[in-house]
Amino acid sequence: TWSPSELPMICSFRGAVPQGLVLELGETVQILEKCEGKCFSLLQGIFPANYIHLKKAIVSNRGQYETVVPLEDSVVTEVTATLQEWAVLWKQLYVVRHKVDLFYKLRHVMNELIDLRRQLLSGHLTQDQVREVKRHLTVRLDWGNEHLGLDLVPRKDFEVVDSDQISVSDLYKMVRNLWEIPLMLFCCRCNNENEWCQIHENIIRKSSTKYTAPSSNYGKCLRVCFSGEKSSVSPVVNVAMCLLSFSAGDIRNDLYLTLEKGDFERGGKSVQKNIEVTMYVLYADGEILKDCISLGSGEPSRSAYHSFVLYHNNSPRWGEIIKLPIPIDRFRGSHLRFEFRHCSTKDKGEKKLFGFAFTPLMRDDGTTLSDDIHELYVYKCDENSTFNNHALYLGLPCCKEDYNGCPNIPSSLIFQRSTKESFSVSTQLSSTKLTQNVDLLALLKWKAYPDRVMDILGRLRHVSGEEIVKFLQDILDTLFVVLDDNTEKYGLLVFQSLVFIINLLRDSKYFHFRPVMDTYIQKHFAGALAYKELIRCLKWYMDRSAELVRQDHIQEAMRALEYLFKFIVQSRILYSRATCGMEEEQFRSSIQELFQSIRFVLSLDSRSSETLIFTQAALLNSFPAIFDELLQMFTVQEVAEFVRGTLGSMPSTVHIGQSMDVVKLQSIARTVDSRLFSFSESRRILLPVVLHHIHLHLRQQKELLICSGILSSIFSIIKTSSLEGDVVEEVEMMVESLLDVLLQTLLTIMSKSQSQEAVRGQRCPQLSDLKNFSFGQQGEYVSCLLSLLRQMSDTHFQHLLDNFQSKDELKEFLLKIFCVFRNLMKMSVFPRDWMVWNSYFSLAVLFINQPSLQLENATPAKRKKILDKYGDMRVMMAYELFSMWQNLGEHKIHFIPGMIGPFLGVTLVPQPEVRNIMIPIFHDMMDWEQRKNGNFKQVEAELIDKLDSLVSEGKGDENYRELFSLTQLFGPYPSLLEKIEQETWRETGISFVTSVTRLMERLLDYRYLTAAGGTKFMCTESNFYKSEINKEEMYIRYIHKLCDMHLQAENYTEAAFTLLLYCELLQWEDRPLREFLHYPSQSEWQRKEGLCRKIIHYFNKGKSWEFGIPLCRELAMQYENLYDYQSLSWIRKMEATYYDNIMEQQRLEPEFFRVGFYGRKFPFFLRNKEYVCRGHDYERLEAFQQRMLSEFPQAIAMQHPNHPDDSILQCDAQYLQIYAVTPIPDNIDVLQMDRVPDRIKSFYRVNNIRKFRYDRPFHKGPKDKDNEFKSLWIERTTLTLTHSLPGISRWFEVERRELVEVSPLENAIQVVENKNQELRTLISQYQHKQMHGNINLLSMCLNGVIDAAVNGGIARYQEAFFDKDYITKHPGDAEKITQLKELMQEQVLLFLGLAVHEKFVHPEMRPLHKKLIDQFQMMRSSLYHVSCSVTNVSVLSSPQASPSTSSLSSTHSAPSQMINSAPSSARGKNGWTQMGVNGNCRHPFTLSALSSYWVKFHLH
C-alpha cells in the first residue's frame, strides 16, 4: 500500500497498455498504490513509476471533492499551475494577427517566471531576497493573467488567499483593489536651460503644459531629464529635503543652501559669459573646512563646490541645493565664500575669476543665518587677487542689511563692490542645538527669567513649528519641569502649551515627528506627578463646554486627547513604579469621572450651537485613539464598558444633524478597527451598541457607504475569530439586528441604480463581470450580506425561522431575499406580486445561468479547481429545482406558461445532466395543460416564442438541436419523447416535439450565419415559420432581418426579393393594420403601396429593372383605378426610365459557382451539401475561392471536381470543393430572336436560372496521341436548385443533380456551334449599331476563328470524325456528322464579319484586317477540301458507294480553347442559314464578293 502523494510527470506517457493512463509532461497525479514498478492513480489507470517525480503532499477536503496540495511554497505551486495554463493560451496567440506582439511579450515573461521559480526552489536566498523574488513573481503572474483575460487573483503577502479563511467582505475589497488604477510615472524633458531652476515648481503647479502628466491619475514620483548640447552639466543627484527628519536624542547641525540666481555684467564682451560658481566654507582663521559640502546621498563629501555652467547667460538660474554638515563647534565664526569665473568656450580648461561674494553663518548677536533668501553683494576681483588674508573682505558688508549696519566704508579697499551685479542664495537650517528664535531661547533658559515665566509660556505659540520640532525634547522637558515647580500657578499654561505642541504634530508638515514624540514619552519622559494636573485640566475644559461661547481651547484639547492620555498613562506608570502602586483607587476614580465628563459633552444638544458641534466632533475623532492607552491600566472588559457608555451617550441619528452623523459613524468605525474590538470579551460588550447605531442609519438610508465599511470590518474580525474560537453569540446578534435591514437596504439601492440606468438607457452590469461592476454601495452591501449568510450555521437559520410570528412575515422575508439574489444575478426590477415559489424558481434559474458558474467558458485549470473543490453546482441546483417542482403537485398549473421561459433557459446550459433533469418538467407542463384545456397550445406557443428569443441571444450549442428527442444519458429521468409516446395525446405531442426540434435547428443555423456576418442560407429560417409552425409574425420579422442583412451587404436585388415575400402576404384592401416593427398604424393598401415602392427602389439599385417593371405595372393599375393620375404619371415615368436603363446602361453578367461543403466539422445545415452561389460583380473563380477560404479558415480546398467518397464525407475536417458552373436559361425564345439586342438577351442568360451545367473533359479508352479529339469525352453535370437565382439569397442548395456523357462528335458539334453563335451575335450587334466605336471584340473573334481554322482546328475534326474508319465504326453518327459538316461550312459567315470589320475598322488597324483577309483565303481553301472530302466519305459510306480513301492531315494540334464548357445556344433559324453558302464551297471568295454579300446582308 502506498500513502497518498502528489506526483508531477517528468516524461509523457501515452498509455499504450491495458488500463494505461495517458499523461502529459508536467501533469500531476495522485497515487494510491504502487506495485512492481507501476503506480495506480486516483484517476483509475496505471503508469510506470519511473515516469514521475515524487513530491510530498497532503489531502485536504477529504471526500467527494478532495484536493491534493503539495507541501511546497504556495507561490511555487501557483507559478507551476499558471505556466501550464498559459502554455496552451500562449500558442493560440501566435495565430491571431493582432496578438503576435503579446505572444513575444508573454514568452519573455514566462522565461522570467521559470528563472525566478528556479531561484525560489534553490533554497539559497535570504528572507529579504525571498520576498523580493515573490514580489517579482506575483507582479508577472498578475500581468499575464490580465493580458490573457484570466481571473486576477487576490493575494495577501504574495500568496493566494483561501476564500474559506477570510470573510466575503475582505475578499470583495481585495478584488476591488485589483482594479484600482496604479500610480503612473511620467517623464518630462526640459530643453530650455533657463527653465531648469523652476522645473520642479512648474511640474507641481502645472504652470506649463509640457510638464503635464498624461492623465490625472499620476503619482508623486517624478523623473526629470535634463539635456543640453552645449552646456557643461555637473551630475544631478536627488537631494533628500528631509530637513526635519530625526528622532528624539539625535543631534543634527546641517545647513541646506540653495544657489538661486545671479545677475552679472557683460564686462565689455560681445557675448554673455559662461559663469561657474565655486563655493568654500571657511573657519574664523581663514582655513577651508574639509569635507563640509555634500551634494546629496551617494556623493562623497568635498571641500569645494562647483556649479554647472549655463551657456552664454549673464543671468543664470541654478536652483541647486547643497548640504553643509558643519560641526557645531566650527559654526560660530565660519563664513561662505562664492567665487565667480568665466569659462572659455575655446579652451575648456581656462576659467577666469572676475568676482566673489560671501556671507557669515552667524550674526554678531549670536543668531544664525536666517531661513530666507539672501541677496549678496558681488565684489570685483581678478586672478591676481589673493584671499589669503580673509580679513580684507570680512569687514565689508555682505548684503544690504549688513551695509546698513556699517555705513562708513572707506573707498580705498582692495575689493570694490559691483553695484550692478548681485548674487542670491537661500538657506534652511536643520539643527538641534542652534536656533534663530529669541523666545525659544528664553523658554529653554526660563530659570534666568523667573518673573517672565508666564509671559514666556504664553509666547510659545508664536515660535515657528520648525523650531519647536527641532527642540521638541528640550521644550517638553522644560514644560514638565515648570509644571513640577509650581503646579497651581503654571498648570493651565503648561497644559495649553502641551496641547499646542501636540496639535502642531497633527499638521501634515510635522506629522512624521509623532514617532519622536512617542519615543520621548516611552524613554525620556519623567513627569511622574503630571497625570493628576493633566486629568484635572482636561476635565475642567470638558465641564465648561456647555457654558462657553468660544470653545477654541476646548476643541484643541479634544484634538490632543490621544497624546494627553499617553502622557497621563505614562505618568501614572512612572508614579506607580516609584510608589509601588499607591493611589490606584484615586486614579481609577479620576478616570471614571473624566469619562463622565466625556459622556456629558457628547450628550449635549448641539443642534442650536455650531461651536458645540465642532467640540463634539473633535472629541469623537480623538476618542478611539485612547483605547490602547487605557488597556495598559484597565482590563479589556473595563475599557469596553467605558467605551460602551460613551458610545451609548451619543444621541440617535434622528436627533442630530448630518455632519454629526458622519463624525459619529467614523468614530464607531475607528472603534471597530481598534485592537480593543479584536478581543471577544470586549466585542460582546460593544457589538450591541455598534449594531444599534448601524441599524438606525440603515433604516433611514443615511450614510450607507460608511455603514458598509463598518460592517465589512466587523465581518472580517468575526471571520478571523471564528477560526480560533466560538462566535455563535455574536453572529446571532448580527442576524437579529442586521439581516432584515440589510435586505431592505440592498433592495432600495438596486431600485435606485436600475432607475438611473433606465434613464440613461444603459443595461445594468452583471455581478460576475467584475471589471465592469460598479464598486459602490451595492457591491459593499452584497459582500456584507454574503458574509453574514456565510457565518450563519444551521442553528442560526433555525432560530431565524422560529422568530417569525406568522406565515405572512416568513413570506415577506423570503420574497425579500429571493428578490435580492435575483437582482444580483439579473439586475432587473422584480415584480412584487409574484408568488414566493415563483420567486424561488426564478432565483434557482438565475443561479444556474449565472456566468461565473459556466465552467465551459473557464480555462481547463480553473474548471478543474472548481470541480475538485465544489463540484458542478449547476447540477445540484437543478436537482433541487426538479424536486421542488415535483412537490408542487396540482399547483403546477399556476406556473404555466409563466415558467416555461426560465426553465427553458436552464436547458440552454451546455451541461447534459442539467438538461436531462429539466426536460421532464416540460412533459409535466404539457400534461397538465392537456388535462385542463384539452390541448397544450399555451405551452407550444410560449416554448416557440422563448426558443426564438433565447437562441437568437446566443444561448445554446450544437447539441441543443437534439435536446427534446435524445435518449436519456444521465440521471433517472426518461427523455421527453419517450414520455410523450406513452400518453394518449402522443400524436400531437410527437408532432410538436418534431416541430420544435426543427425550429431549434433553424435557430442555431440562423445564429451561426449572423455570427459569421453572412446572408448565405438564411432563407430557410423565415420559410420555416411560414410553412411549418404558422407563425406569420415571426415569419415577417425574419423577412426584415434578412432584408436588413442584404442591405448591409449591398445585395439590393436579394433585398427586394426578400421584401417581396411580405408584400405578397398583403392585399389591395383598406383593412386597418396595427403598428408593427417600423411600420406605423395604416391601412393594408397603404402598407402594400409603400412596400412596392421600396422594392422597386431596391431593384433599381440592383440594376434588376426587369423585375421592377411588373411591380410598376401593378402600381400603375391601382393608381389608374383610383384616378390618382399624379402617382400614375410618376410610376409610368419610372417604368419608362427602367426601359431606358435596360438599353443604355452597362450590366455585367455575374459568374456562378458551385460550392460543396464536405466533412463533419461544418455546421449541421452545411454538412455534406452543395450550393450554387451568384458571384459579385467582377468576381472571378480565384477571388471567390479566396473569399470562401477566408470565411472557413480551417477548410481544405479540394483540387479536383470529382464527387468525394465516404472517407471525406465522414471525416472530422472541412473540405471545400469549388468550381464555376454555366447557367442554363429557361427562356430560350428570347435568346433565339436575332433582332433582340444583346443587352436584353444578356439579362435572360443569367437571371431566373434554376439549372446549371458543369463540363469535365476526360478520355475514354486509350488516348490518341496524334489527335486527342477522337477520345475526348465530356462528363456533363446538370444541377437543379431549390429556387431560381437571383432570389431571396445569393445561395441556394442543389436539389437534384443529373450526369450525362457527351461523345467527342457531339462535343465538336457544340464547340463549332457556340463559336458560330458568338460570331453571329457580334455581327448583328455591330450591324444594328448596338456597339459603337471599339471594334476590338469583333477583331478578336474573327482572328480566333480564322486562326484556329487555318492552324488545324477544322482539320483535326476532319481527321477525327470524317475518317472512313470512324464512319464505318459509328454508322449511327451519320446525321451528326452531317450536322458538323453544315456547321463547319456555315463558318463562311466570316466573310460577312470581315465586311462589317472593313466598314468600322480604324485606319491604324488596316494591316490586321489585311492579314485576316489573307488567312480567310487559306481557310476557304481548307473548307473546300473538307467539303469535298466529307462528300466523298458520305458517298463511300452509303450502301451504293464504292470504298475510297481521303487523306486529311494537319501538322498542328487542336487548340485548347476549342475544348471548353461555354454556354450553348440554339442556332438561328432565319436569315443566317438562308444567306449561308449551303454547302457550296466553290464560290469565289473575293473582296468584290464580300462587298456584294455585305449589301445583301444590310438589305436583309
Q: Which residues contact 1130 (CB under 8 A, 6 or more apart)?
A: none
Residue 1380 CA to residue 949 CA, distance in Å, equals: 64
Residue 726: pLDDT above 50? Answer: yes
Which has more confidence, 758 or 1211? Answer: 1211
Instruction: Give the cell for residue 793.
Output: 450555521
Cell of 1035: 415569419
Q: β-strands 304-306, 1072-1073: how paired? A: unpaired
Looking at per-residue pLDDT, the higher value among 1441 and 1306 belongs to 1306
The per-residue pLDDT for 831 is 34
Q: What is the pLDDT of residues 1180-1208, one digit of tens each?
A: 899 999 989 888 888 999 988 888 888 89
pLDDT in tens, 667-695: 999 999 999 998 989 989 999 999 988 88
Q: In this model, does residue 133 exceed pLDDT 80? A: yes
Q: Using 50, 70 and 90 to split pLDDT, how confident is the model at 224?
A: very low
User: CA geometry: angle at 384 spanning 381 and 385, to 5°?
Assistant: 45
Q: What pLDDT does residue 222 have?
A: 40
The cell 562664492 sits on which residue?
338
340 phi/psi in degrees, rounded to 5 = -110, 125
Tell me the pLDDT tens digit for each residue of 1073-1085: 988 888 899 999 9
- Nearest CA among 731, 730, 625, 710 for reference residue 676: 625
- For residue 265, the Cα-to-chain-centroid distance in whole angstroms is 62
pLDDT at 1111: 93
Q: What is the mean pLDDT of residues 1013-1036?
A: 54
Least confident of 510-514, 799-803, 1356-1360, 1442-1446: 1442-1446
Whether residue 1330 is predicted with pLDDT greater than 60 in this model: the reply is no
Backbone phi, then psi, for 347, in 5-degree steps? -105, 105
Q: How confident is the model at residue 409 (pLDDT cuts 50, 70, 90)?
A: low
Model confidence pLDDT, tens digit, residues 1358-1376: 777 777 777 877 887 788 8
Q: What is the pLDDT of residues 987-1009, one digit of tens each?
A: 777 777 777 777 776 776 666 66
Sign of the CA dihedral with 294 first, then 296, 298, and 299 last: negative
- Which tens digit of pLDDT belongs to each residue from 70-96? 777 888 888 888 888 888 888 888 877
Lowest mean pLDDT among 37-41, 249-253, 880-884, 1321-1325: 37-41
Instruction: For residue 79, give the nearest of 122, 109, 124 by alpha carbon.
Output: 109
Least confident span in 78-87, 355-364, 1185-1194, 1309-1318: 1309-1318
- The neighbouring-strand residues paired with 1156 are 1170, 1217
Query: Per-residue confidence at 1388, pLDDT binned at 50, 70, 90?
Result: low
Measured between alpha carbons, how far is 904 from 881 in angstroms, rounded to an integer? 13
Poorest-pLDDT segment among 19-33, 612-626, 861-875, 1244-1258: 19-33
The size of the chain, in residues, is 1500
Which residue shows C-alpha cell 438589305?
Answer: 1499
Question: Across residues 773-793, what is the average pLDDT?
Answer: 75
C-alpha of 1469 from chain center:
70
| Of 1218, 1238, 1090, residue with least CA distance to 1151 | 1218
- Is the pLDDT reported for residue 1471 higher than 70? no
CA distance 389 to 383: 15
What average pLDDT does this structure show over 243-270?
76
pLDDT confidence of 1340, banded at 50, 70, 90? confident
Task: Tell me what pLDDT residue 1012 has.
Answer: 55
Neighbours of 507 (CB within 10 A): 11
Q: What is the pLDDT of residue 161?
A: 76
- What's this model's pTM, rounded to 2 decimal places? 0.51
What is the separation of C-alpha 186 from the centre of its chain, rounded to a whole number of angstroms?
Answer: 24
Position 834: which residue type?
W
ω into residue 1286 within 30 of 0, thus cis?
Answer: yes
Res 1435: pLDDT: 37
- What pLDDT is recorded for position 765? 39
pLDDT of residue 569: 92
Cell matching residue 126: 535570504
pLDDT at res. 1431: 47
pLDDT digits (tens, 9 = 90+) for 464-504: 887 888 888 888 888 888 888 888 888 888 888 999 999 99
Q: How confident is the model at residue 44 (pLDDT cuts 50, 70, 90)?
A: low
Residue bearing the bigger pLDDT, 1432 or 1482: 1432
| 944-986 tens-digit pLDDT | 777 776 666 666 666 665 555 544 433 444 566 667 777 777 7
Q: Percent of the chain having pLDDT more than 70?
A: 77
Q: Are 960 and 1004 in contact (CB under 8 A)?
A: yes
Burial-class residue 663 by CB neighbours within 10 Å (0-12, 13-18, 19+). Answer: buried
pLDDT for position 280: 92
Q: Which residues of 834-856 are buried (b: 16+ CB within 10 A; e: fewer)?
A: beebbbbbbbbbbbbbbebbbbe
Q: What is the mean pLDDT of residues 1422-1429?
A: 54
Asked if the model's pLDDT at residue 1070 lies above 60, the reply is yes
Measure CA of the first residue to CA of the last residue in the chain; give whole Å: 109
Which pLDDT does position 1450 carry in this prediction? 30
pLDDT higher at 357 or 25: 357
- What does DSSP say about strands 45-48 and 38-41: parallel, antiparallel, or unpaired? antiparallel
For residue 746, what pLDDT band results from cuts at 50, 70 and 90?
Answer: confident
Split at pLDDT 50, 70, 90, the class of 1018 is: very low
Q: What is the pLDDT of residue 638?
A: 92
Residue 181 pLDDT: 45
Contacts of 140 (CB under 8 A, 6+ apart): 109, 112, 113, 116
Q: What is the mean pLDDT of residues 764-770?
A: 37
**Farthest-apart Cα atoms in the chain, separation:** 167
Strand partners, 1197: 1216
The whole-number pLDDT of residue 219 equals: 38
C-alpha–C-alpha distance, residues 1066 and 1088, integer Å? 6
pLDDT digits (tens, 9 = 90+) for 1126-1182: 999 999 999 999 999 998 888 888 999 999 999 988 877 788 899 999 998 888 899
pLDDT confidence of residue 1477: 33
Summary mean pLDDT of the chain: 77
When pLDDT is cut at 50, 70 and 90, the band that residue 656 belongs to is low
Give the pLDDT of residue 199: 65
Residue 1306 and residue 1459 in contact, taking contact as beta carbons nearer than 8 Å: no
pLDDT for 53: 75
Q: CA Rg, the chain, in Å?
A: 50
Q: What is the rounded CA–CA span in Å between residue 1118 and residue 1112?
A: 10
Are the C-beta atoms of residues 40 and 46 closer than 8 Å to each other? yes
1060 pLDDT tier (thresholds 50, 70, 90): very high
Is the Cβ–Cβ distance between 690 and 666 less than 8 Å? no
Residues 852 and 768: beta-carbon distance below 8 Å? yes
Q: Give dist(CA 829, CA 148) in Å, integer.
A: 34
**Which of 1488, 1484, 1365 minimizes the C-alpha distance to 1424?**
1484
Rounded Cα–Cα distance for residues 565 and 575 (Å): 15
Instruction: Kindly give, in sequence order, each residue whose CB lies less than 8 Å from that of residue 1316, ignoring residues fewer than 6 positions away.
Output: 1383, 1386, 1387, 1389, 1467
In the prediction, which pLDDT does 198 show? 62
Helix (H) or strand (E) holding 478: helix 472-485
Lowest-confidence pick of 225-239, 287-301, 814-828, 1436-1450: 1436-1450
Which region among 426-440, 1007-1021, 1211-1225, 1437-1451 has the lowest average model confidence (pLDDT)?
1437-1451
Q: Is the pLDDT of residue 1048 over 50?
A: yes
| DSSP conformational letter for 953 | T
Count CB atoms within 10 A of the CB of residue 158: 19
What's at 850, amino acid-wise? Q
